[in-house]
Amino acid sequence: MESKKEISRRDKITPLTVDPAVRARALKNKKKLHVRRKLIEWGLFTGYLTPSLLGVILFFFLPLLMLLKTSFQKSSTNTELVGTLNYERVLTNEAFKDASFNTLTFALLAVPLAVLLALLLAMLLNTGLPGKSAFRSILLNPMMVPVASVVLIWQVFFSYNGVVNGWTASLLGWSKIDWLKSDYAQIVILLMFLWKNLGYNMVLFLAALNNIPTEILESAMMDGAGAFKRFFSIKLYYLSPTIFFVAIMSLVNSFKIFREVYLLTGDYPYDSLYMLQHFMNNAFTKLDYSKLSAGAIIMTVVMGAIVGGLFFAESKLDSNIEE
Amino acid sequence: MDNELRKQRKKQATLARRNVYTETPEVVSFFSSMTDAQKEAFFKKEKARAVKKLRARKIKKNVLITIGLIIAGCSAILALVPIFFTFLNSFMCSAEIQDNYGVVFQSLSGHATNGATYMAKTPLLKLVPQKVTIEQYKSLLFMSPTYLFKFWNSIVLVLPIVAGQMVIACLAAYSFARFRRKRREALFFSYIILMLMPFQVTLVPNYIISEKLGILNTIWAIILPGIFSTFAVFLLTKYMRQIPSAYIEAAKLDGATEWQIFTRIAIPLCKSAIFALAILLFIDYWNMVEQPLILLSSQDKQPLSVFLSQINESEIGIAFAASALYMIPPLLIFLRGEEYLVEGISRTGVK
């Protein structure tokens, strides 16, 4: 009864009549203001970006465009267009195939290992070991060691007459091998990569582990979840953004290790160490620019695909978490 | 009224209490069925069991901690050995180094093709020098002035890059963090790909561009591309996106302009990240070898890193001292800014 009464009362209220012309004007004004505000915002933040964008265009985008152009030319001086000939030349090149295979296998080996070992180390330090912060800063130390010293040390340890060979010969009775010119070469470089980057990755994981809400872990423990269950159902969930970040940083660093390899072994290293950067460097010294640019473009596209895939996966997982 | 209510409640409470007492059934408990002797024996047994369990748990925990400590200690030693190795060996005289490591350098991969011999002798890893001398440092600093010269070259190259990249990256990262639209995200994505690009990819065009700008063979050919590198933008954006929007809204309500929000809120909140990033960038550029090798053709402009990577082979006598001196600036920066570094790194990867 009452509700009916109310409704009827509500009906009696005369609706506010607005002149349609005035209404339209007001709406237009509002829209104008909105657009203006948006434009101002856009201009402001583009302004912040401008210095960086200009430099990036000049020193990174423009070079890539130039590469794209020369990759379709006969050579950098002869501007005759040859279609996809350069790409065919590069893709059928044995050296390029080997180099991309080596680079890929190294990345596929190094990135997961770096992520996994760093995570294990971080979890180890997070179990309440005494002196956690001391270990943390000690493990960060290798990052500071300059390339030249690293190269010197690795030479002392892993060359034919090096220290490691001395140890294996006297302790295990193995015959000596030149580590950097054997099938273990990639493992030696992998060791160097891990040695350099584990600390950084570990610090990232330590922070992420500390950020997991303890209430959730405790309640899971009360409900009888074991350590493994807790790790795979809870911790991994919270760690996933960090895992992606660490993977990307490790990928960056796995390309950077070329510097050490180059200084250790020169232009033409053992087969399994011949990386894409070697290929490009050698093409550069041989002045074969069209080959170089075709190779570079292919590498760019592949890298874009890999990073795109990583980001797509991350955003998928992100939306899962937010749900 | 108030008094009445209180009375009523009191009555209710007493009634309730009475009910509870009267209605509680007599319970024949586990303990009341036992005699005193039995009780004592039971308690004793339980106590012993609890103590045993606790002790076992403690032992297990201790063992686990020792194992953990051993693993962590081993990795710590592995991490530190090269640094100590370099510093300690830098105090050997060159004859001793020649003795210890001469063999190593005769069999280097680069030399082996030139008819160098593989020797049966194996070097010993020596950490402690027989006689501590500063001979290496002396010959490095006084005999060859090029070393100090190159040191200065390195500093002149690295400091502008780090400072410039920080300023530009702060601005750009703020823009990427605050203004999130579809096209901006696409641009950010391309920044990430550029960050991943090895130097060799853009080698030739970079060479051509710096030739066109007339900066080839000057330090600007390295500084300018370095300043605009996108690594810092990526990391700082990741960090700035974590600034709670409530802070920014509060500042807006208080009438702060956008520039004030940037300088008074975003930058101070990112202080640790900026320090960490500066350290990372410093180390990265302090170590660059390829860029100066290709873009700086004249020897006297090249930084120490290039010089050092060549010294290894020819003069191992002073190589260790050179490396040690070279390591000092990054190490000092690391020790000084370690807190910031750890904090700054920590927060970039966390959502």
| Record: contact B286-A251, CB cut-off 8 A | no
In sequence order, which residues have a C-beta less than 8 Å from that of residue B186 and are 6 or more positions away? Answer: none
In sequence order, which residues have a C-beta less than 8 Å from that of residue A299 and are 6 or more positions away? Answer: A100, A276, B198, B201
Q: What share of chain B is helix, strand, coil (3-state, %, to 5)?
A: 75, 0, 25
Q: Which of A45, A103, A265 to mutate to test the interface with B (most CBs of B within 10 A)?
A: A45
**Per-residue model confidence as pLDDT tens digits over B27-40:** 667 777 778 888 88
| Record: contact B110-A265, CB cut-off 8 A | yes
| Record: contact A138-B123, CB cut-off 8 A | no
Q: What secondary structure letter does DSSP report for A141?
A: G
Answer whether residue A322 shows pLDDT above 70: no
| Domains of chain A as residue ranges with CATH | 2-70 (no CATH), 85-322 (1.10.3720.10)
Give strand pairing partners of A73.
A81
In angstroms, the first-to-last Cα distance of chain A is 43
In sequence order, which residues have a C-beta less than 8 Å from that of residue A10 and are 6 or more positions away? Answer: none
| CA–CA gap between residue B265 and residue B248 (Å, rounded) | 8
* Token couple for B7: 């009375």
Give B313's pLDDT tier (boundaries 50, 70, 90). Answer: low
Answer whether residue A65 shows pLDDT above 50: yes
CA distance, residue B139 to nearest chain A CA (Å): 19
Tell me if chain A has a CB within 8 Å of the CB of B230: yes
> Which of B68, B104, B283 faces A129 most closely, judged by CB atoms?
B68
Q: Where are the beta strands (DSSP E) in chain B?
A: none
Query: Quick one: pLDDT at residue B115?
Result: 40
Q: Are A239 and A211 in contact (CB under 8 A)?
A: no
Q: Which of A71, A160, A210 to mutate to test the interface with B (most CBs of B within 10 A)?
A: A160
| Record: contact A76-B204, CB cut-off 8 A | yes
Tell me if chain A has a CB within 8 Å of the CB of B163: no
* Token couple for A47: 């302004």
Tell me if chain A has a CB within 8 Å of the CB of B215: no
Query: Quick one: pLDDT at residue A282?
Result: 83
Q: Are B215 and A43 in contact (CB under 8 A)?
A: no
| CA–CA gap between residue A61 and residue B33 (Å, rounded) | 88
| Record: contact A144-B334, CB cut-off 8 A | yes
Query: Quick one: pLDDT at residue B113?
Result: 42
Query: Model's pTM, two decimal places?
Result: 0.81
Contacts of B90 in chain A (CB under 8 A): none
Angle between helices B36-89 and B316-336 (to 10 degrees): 130
| Record: contact B189-A311, CB cut-off 8 A | yes
CB-based burial label for B224 (10 Å; 0-12, 13-18, 19+)? buried
Give A4's pLDDT tier (boundaries 50, 70, 90). Answer: low
Give A6's pLDDT tier (boundaries 50, 70, 90). Answer: low
Tell me if chain A has a CB within 8 Å of the CB of B227: yes
Answer whether residue A83 shows pLDDT above 80: no
Mean pLDDT of the residues in chain B = 81
Interface of B with A in 260-289 (CB under 8 A): 262, 283, 286-287, 289
More confident residue, B230 or A14: B230
Q: Which of A69, A161, A258, A272 to mutate to test the interface with B (most CBs of B within 10 A)?
A: A161
More confident residue, B345 or B113: B345
Chain A to chain B Cβ contacts (< 8 Å)? 302
* Token couple for A246: 């660490």
Tell me if chain A has a CB within 8 Å of the CB of B323: yes
**Per-residue model confidence as pLDDT tens digits over B180-212:** 888 888 898 888 888 888 888 877 788 888 888
Nearest Cα neighbor of A255 from A146, A93, A110, A51 is: A110
Tell me if chain A has a CB within 8 Å of the CB of B27: no
Query: Quick one: pLDDT at residue B51?
Result: 95
Give B233's pLDDT tier (boundaries 50, 70, 90). Answer: very high
Give the number of other Cβ atoms within 10 Å of residue B93's Cβ: 18
Q: Where are the beta strands (DSSP E) in chain A?
A: none
| Record: contact B197-A211, CB cut-off 8 A | no
CA distance, residue A213 to nearest chain B CA (Å): 13
* Token couple for B295: 């873009």
Contacts of B201 in chain A (CB under 8 A): 67, 280, 296, 299-300
DSSP string, B32-46: TTS-HHHHHHHHHHH
Nearest Cα neighbor of B310 from B321, B319, B301 is: B319
Give A113's pLDDT tier (boundaries 50, 70, 90). Answer: very high
Mean pLDDT of the residues in chain A = 83
* Token couple for B193: 């790909």
* Token couple for B62: 């201790």
| CA–CA gap between residue A60 and residue A67 (Å, rounded) | 11
CA distance, residue B220 to nearest chain A CA (Å): 12
Q: Which CATH entry fits the domain spanning B138-348: 3.40.50.970, 1.10.3720.10, 3.90.1170.50, 3.40.30.10?
A: 1.10.3720.10
More confident residue, A25 or A267: A25
Nearest Cα neighbor of B290 from A15, A281, A229 is: A281
Give B48's pLDDT tier (boundaries 50, 70, 90). Answer: very high
How many residues belong to chain B?
Answer: 351
Answer whether residue B114 shows pLDDT above 50: no
A304-308, A314-318, B160-164, B342-346: the lowest-pLDDT one: A314-318
Give A1's pLDDT tier (boundaries 50, 70, 90). Answer: low
CA distance, residue A167 to nearest chain B CA (Å): 9
ipTM greater than cut 0.85: no
Nearest Cα neighbor of B79 from A198, A260, A251 is: A198
* Domain chopping of chain B, boundaries: 2-83, 90-133, 138-348
Tell me if chain A has a CB within 8 Å of the CB of B150: no
* Token couple for A186: 């990639």
> Which of A45, A76, A242 faces B349 most closely, judged by CB atoms?
A242
Query: Quick one: pLDDT at residue A85?
Result: 82
CA distance, residue B44 to nearest chain A CA (Å): 29
> Which of B172, B350, B351 faces A48 most closely, judged by CB atoms?
B172
| CA–CA gap between residue A303 and residue B196 (Å, rounded) | 8
* Token couple for B262: 């940037």
Angstrom CA distances, B15 to A253, B7, B8, B323, stand at: 77, 12, 11, 89
In sequence order, which residues have a C-beta less than 8 Å from that of residue A142 and are 6 or more positions away? Answer: A195, A196, A198, A199, B79, B82
CA distance, residue B303 to nearest chain A CA (Å): 12
